[in-house]
Each structure stands twice: as C-alpha cells, then as structure tokens.
Amino acid sequence: MTCPFNKDKKCDEACPLYIAPTDLNEFVVARLSSIGVLARDKGSCSLRVLALSQSRHIFEKTNTRGG
C-alpha cells in the first residue's frame, strides 16, 4: 500500500493514514484480518481500514437503547 501524503509514497508511521495493528484492539484486528483488510503483523495505509476501525469504535461507544 502507498501513502498519498508522503513524498516517497511509503506507507509507514509518518503517513497520517497508517494504522498499526497495535493501535487497534484484538477483536478489530482479528475481524479485519479475517476479511483480508489488514495483516495481523503489518500496518496499513488505507482510508478503508481507517473507516472500518472508526466505525467499530463508534459502534462500541454508542448506546442504542433509549433511556
């Protein structure tokens, strides 16, 4: 994967889109790995991964019950 914000296009910690597996909880890493979006041992630069991990974070923090 490449990073559109780095001059050398390298996907690493300097890229704002970089997501390290250690930044996510184990459940999210397992889910994203099982569908082939993220490798368990490598980080990734991707808006899709960012969106999926943020969606999960929002889901976990949202109370859908009234009251």
Assess if residue 11 is contained within a domain.
no
pLDDT digits (tens, 9 = 90+) for 6-52: 788 888 888 888 888 888 888 888 887 887 777 888 888 776 666 66
Assess if residue 57 is contained within a domain.
yes
Interatomic CA distance for residues 42 and 61, integer angstroms: 26
Assess if residue 30 is contained within a domain.
yes
pLDDT higher than 60, residue 67 = no
CB 40 within 8 A of CB 32: no
How many domains is the chain partitioned into structurally? 1
* Residue 13 backbone class (left: φ over 0; alpha: ψ -120 to 50; beta: rest): alpha
pLDDT at res. 47: 67
pLDDT at res. 16: 82
Under the banding of pLDDT at 50, 70 and 90, the label for residue 56 is low
Assess if residue 46 is contained within a domain.
yes
